[in-house]
Amino acid sequence: MIDCIILAIVFAMLPQPLPYILFISLLIAYHAISLWLVQQTVGKALLGLKVYRIGSKPGFFWALGRCSVGYFIVDLLGVGLLVALFNRRHRALHDYVFNSTVFLDETGPLNAKLLLSRLLRLIERQLDAIKARRKTVSILGGFWGFLFGLGRGLKRIIDFLTGLGSGDLSAASAPSIAEAISLKAAAGITAMATAATGVLVTSVPQTRALGKWLLEPRYILTSPAAIVSTFERDVEDWKVFGDAQGQSDEPTYDDGAIMATDDQQSDVWYWRAPEAYLGDKRGFYGRDLVFKLRTSNVDNPFDDQDLVLEGGDLTLIYNTQRNPATEWTEYRVRLDESAPWTNKTTGKRVTRAEFLQVMSDLRQLLIRGEYREGGDTGWLDDVIFGAGPLMRIEAVEYPRSIVSDAPRTDLVVAYSGEPRFPVELIFRPRSCPPGYNCFTERAKFATPPRERRLTGKGFVWCAGVSEVWKTDFEVVVRDSLGTETSEPIAVVCQPVS
């Protein structure tokens, strides 16, 4: 709405009357150039939003296709925007087709000082982008001229046809034969260019992304409310599962938390969630499980399955990065395949389909309560099932194809949420061709960057390759709570020509 108001004011200041097709052309050009230069229009910048192209940087023709074919054809003149109300990341139909995502890049109260600061930063970034693309921007001057000439030509045709319809030919003069031919040629070229752009960007991966959206659970405007256990008055139907409490499944209420004591009979005991946490919980897919633990002793620790989800004839397990201390230790675990959940039967990393299968009919949620060899006592408090994600990878920019022994290139991760710093960025191989060495790259960030972008300097490279090969990598962001989120990517290495 902000962008349309700005464009309407500009349009009203031009000599009138003007055809409305010129306003539409102005809208397309304004959005396309803004997204290409700085990934923001004025409206998006004021509200702290930014557009990212998933997997690569936004090019001009990509931005032009998204803002023309995307808005007016894919979205069916705006109807496709309603799709954003029914998916987890609030992506419109054109975002699925053009492989883009829009997320909140900045948060803060919308006061005059903040809005002015954002506007000034946008202008500064646009000037820097124009300097960096001076040659290309000069070509865009010709593009604007073409749009203006096309608009004027269409106005002449409309005036002429209006004159025919009213019988008053004196009000409009017919274009010359040369003008009519040039206008038809321009309209034909524009139509073909628009169609070609649509064909290029609407490829198989985008079609798959659209299908993925169709399979996601639907919630209007927001996901269902999280389930919370604060234990302010009682144990809230939580149970003990396994070797504790003298073989009873009833925990002890302990001043705003629940407590259980190990029976020391070699089995591991767990906290078992009540019925409210079970059933069809697909609405919590992509959200977080948050809880606090503490233990009476930290000596003689041992490793075991820290979290267990059972349902849909599958069992998923998760191992946390650290054991609880004698003081409260907070945990936050993502409820999707981006976190290191594994299938207990296969021992392999869980897939999206497997995770949704479990969440569609969740039968049991277990949180480990015993962490040492020998007797101990454990406490549980402040459980939130389905909390809003503290951190999420929104987009990854990287070269999809690199040449062997070429200079290293950067990998940039755009994230949303408020992760607890320091944050670690990890780029590790999921598969490696036989005979080659694939390395894991790491970088640590002590404080939040100015923009929500983590840059892995020189992360993407390959060497000594004599044939084309493709390697699957995983981009992982891990914060100080041990919360992980990841995104799979593929890089093709080309031999030196």
97-152 pLDDT, tens digit per residue, is: 888 888 776 666 677 777 887 888 888 888 878 777 776 666 555 555 555 565 56
CB 89 within 8 A of CB 103: yes
User: pTM of this prediction?
Assistant: 0.56
Q: Which single residue is written with the structure tokens 């169709």?
A: 214
Q: Mean per-residue pLDDT for 6-22?
A: 79
Helix (H, G, I), strand (E, B) or coil at 394: strand
Measured CA to CA, the distance from residue 62 to residue 138 in angstroms comes to: 18
**Which of 70-79, 169-178, 255-264 ranks highest by mean pLDDT?**
255-264
Selection from 46, 36, 43, 38 nearest residue 67 by Cα: 36
pLDDT level of residue 167 (50, 70, 90 thresholds): low
Q: Which residues have a Cβ under 8 Å from the Cβ of 361 and sit 6 or more positions away?
A: 279, 280, 311, 312
| Count of Cβ atoms closer than 10 Å to residue 10 Cβ | 12
Taken in order 109, 111, 113, 117, is the CA torsion positive or negative? positive
Measured CA to CA, the distance from residue 102 to residue 33 in angstroms comes to: 17
CB 398 within 8 A of CB 412: yes
pLDDT level of residue 38 (50, 70, 90 thresholds): confident
pLDDT level of residue 171 (50, 70, 90 thresholds): very low
Q: Which residues have a Cβ under 8 Å from the Cβ of 197 and sit 6 or more positions away?
A: 61, 64, 65, 68, 69
Q: Give the pLDDT of residue 431.
A: 83
Whether the bond into 399 is cis, omega within 30 of 0 = no
Ordered by where they begin, the domains of the chain are 2-215 (no CATH), 227-387 (2.60.120.260), 391-494 (2.60.40.730)
CB 460 within 8 A of CB 367: no
CB 253 within 8 A of CB 222: no
Q: What percent of the chain has pLDDT over 70?
A: 80
Q: Give the pLDDT of residue 17.
A: 74
Taken in order 446, 452, 457, 460, is the CA torsion positive or negative? positive
Q: Mean per-residue pLDDT for 416-439?
A: 85
Q: Is residue 173 pLDDT above 70, yes or no?
A: no
Strand positions, DSSP E, 304-346: 307-311, 314-318, 329-334, 342-343
pLDDT tens digit sequence for 307-323: 999 999 999 999 998 89
Q: Give the pLDDT of residue 277.
A: 96
pLDDT tens digit sequence for 366-398: 999 999 988 899 999 999 998 877 888 888 999
